[in-house]
Amino acid sequence: MIKVVMERHCKPGNENALASLLVDLRTRAMRQPGYVTGETLIKIDEPTFYFTIGTWTRIDAWHAWEADEARFELTRMIDGLLSEEPKTYICAPVNEGE
């Protein structure tokens, strides 16, 4: 299993539009082979700061989704609502394989 953590900073005033697009993105991801679960979080003290955490069975499943045309189109719309480039972290549990 891997976790994909995405950090996004929304331009003030675009929070509702961003939240809606992130729901659409996760809904589409749910149909992808290898997708397990995901959630979107916002910082309580900074409501324009979003984290998305997705769990995938394999890194190649994530990469397939990352290259998907439908994802690319939604990501392009999302990027227009952001105040800076999103950051992506691909992580594995510390005890993986033990």
Over the stretch 29-44, which tens digit does the pLDDT of each residue have? 999 999 999 999 999 9
Taking the model in full, what pTM does it have? 0.88
Contact yes or no for 6/55 (Cβ under 8 A): no
What's the confidence (pLDDT) of residue 95? 79
What's the confidence (pLDDT) of residue 98? 53
Domains of the chain with CATH codes: 2-91 (3.30.70.100)
What's the confidence (pLDDT) of residue 67? 95
What's the confidence (pLDDT) of residue 97? 58
Mean pLDDT of 60-84: 96
